[in-house]
Amino acid sequence: MVRLFRHYIPKSLLVLAVLEVIILLLALILSVSLRLGLDNEILSELTFPQLAVFCFVILGTMISMGLYRRDAHNSKFDIVVRVVLAFTLATGFMILLFYIWPALFLGRGIMAIALACGFVGVVFVRLFLFDYFDAAFSHKRVIIIGTGKRAMCIEDVCKLTTLRSFEVVGYWSLKDESSMIDTRHILNVDSIKLLDLVKSKDVVEIIVAVDDRRKSLPINELLDCKMSGVEVIDLVTFLEKQTGKINVHEINPSGLIFADGYSHTVLKPVSKRLVDIVISVIILLVSLPVMMMAALAIWIESGCKGSVFYSQIRVGAGGRKFSIYKFRSMIIDAEKNGAQYAEEKDSRITKIGHFIRKSRIDELPQLINVLRGEMSFVGPRPERPEFVEQLKKKIPYYNLRHSLKPGITGWAQICYPYGANDEDSMQKLQFDLYYMKNYSIFLDLSVIFQTVSVILWRKGSR
């Protein structure tokens, strides 16, 4: 894993992104050469803004199509479809940019050839080279200290994670610790020191995952390894790197207090607020025709009666309550019997409601909440007071999610599907804690781009 602006990114994805940027640069240079010749003076006329726009607009649309997700399970057909959509969307964006800023214009012929060459290069890398990159950068050899319940968490990660940045050499068993690990994976350490084993197995990282650190933890041997340049981390940090969430069952209050992150400098809220305002204004202006059509469709379906909007009390930053605005997607008086989660095939949802919920059009009025300062564009989803009271009694650290402004979208929303029970709420809290710990503008932009993929592939809504 590489930590970029506090966010953990698999090395294989980072290398893939760099390679694809190089492919796009070469595609653009090749297209100029084919169209205008190999004259150095002609090639020198390609400006940095032109190169940057071509590469990073395509890179951005590929991110928005879910092509850089760490949990991707895409077939070859799905990959090609997503790349086609990414290049199509990028073409539209670039045409718009050329209209706004004519100095960026590349020429129709050059752009067509560059897009074609770039598409072929990206598809080739995705279909034939990505597995090689994934294998080449997932060989960080690790040893696990412990064989109990906590060590089993790593077994679960091995089964669930497709992009692994590690290879488990084995488990170091401690005295007086019950074992839940297959004996075939437990190392024979009767006559060898931990440091000697680490050197003989080319291990670069040790993960401490013992159930009780007060019992026979090999402190001196771990110190020897640390002083020899071997990275030693605890289970919580390992899980954070690999899963993009913080396991609430493995942390304690002191771990949260002394952990790095969770920082709030003066610039962070100012920059976040500025991004919120700019993005909200742009989306409001662009989506205004869609919002007007949605409002008209809701009104007609309801027999030209009732409000097209729906307001609901939610819990925001600091536990303060506020009214959240949405387009109404359910029948009038849908909650006359009290608050309840939306269910699969919920009979209260109207025909138009199904569409606007799946496409997230129902969320657009929340941009008003963002402009009013009650919400942010990215953050934990705000919950209803009735559910908050229940969940904070059942889930440890649940109230911590109210340390930030809630968001229209968020890290939990792009990483986990729609939740309608306590287990789902706990899983989403773990992603929210990761976001709170590692917040940066970079992470916000990553969430915004990936939200497009969630909307297009209809994930996480009911």
For the whole model, what pTM was predicted? 0.85
Amino acid at 262: Y
**330 - beta bridge partners?**
349
CATH topology of domain 141-243: Rossmann fold (3.40.50)
Query: Per-residue pLDDT for the chain (462 aa), expressed as one digit of tens each?
Result: 788 878 888 888 888 899 999 999 999 989 988 887 766 565 666 788 889 999 999 999 999 998 988 766 668 888 999 999 999 999 999 999 999 998 888 888 999 999 999 999 999 999 887 777 666 666 789 999 988 888 888 887 877 665 567 888 999 988 777 888 888 888 887 778 899 999 999 999 999 999 887 767 889 999 999 999 999 999 999 999 888 999 998 888 888 888 888 877 778 889 999 999 999 999 999 999 999 999 999 999 888 888 899 899 999 999 999 999 999 988 877 666 666 666 667 778 889 988 998 888 999 999 999 999 999 999 999 999 999 999 999 999 999 999 999 999 999 999 888 777 888 999 999 999 999 999 999 999 999 999 988 888 766 555
Residue 239 CA to chain centroid, in angstroms?
A: 15
pLDDT score at 267: 84
pLDDT score at 460: 55
The first and second tokens of residue 264, run together, are 């709030």
% helix, strand, coil for the chain, step of 5: 55, 10, 35
Three-point CA angle 89, 285, 349, nearest 5°:
80
pLDDT score at 319: 94
pLDDT score at 44: 65
Q: Which of 442, 367, 376 is nearest to 404 (CA)?
A: 376
CA distances, 68 to each of 18, 33, 64, 160, 182 (Å): 12, 30, 9, 17, 34
Dist CA 458 CA 461 (whole Å)? 7
**377 burial type by CB count under 10 A (0-12 exposed, 13-18 middle, 19+ buried):** buried
pLDDT score at 133: 67
Domain residue spans of the chain: 2-135, 141-243, 267-333+343-456
pLDDT score at 294: 94
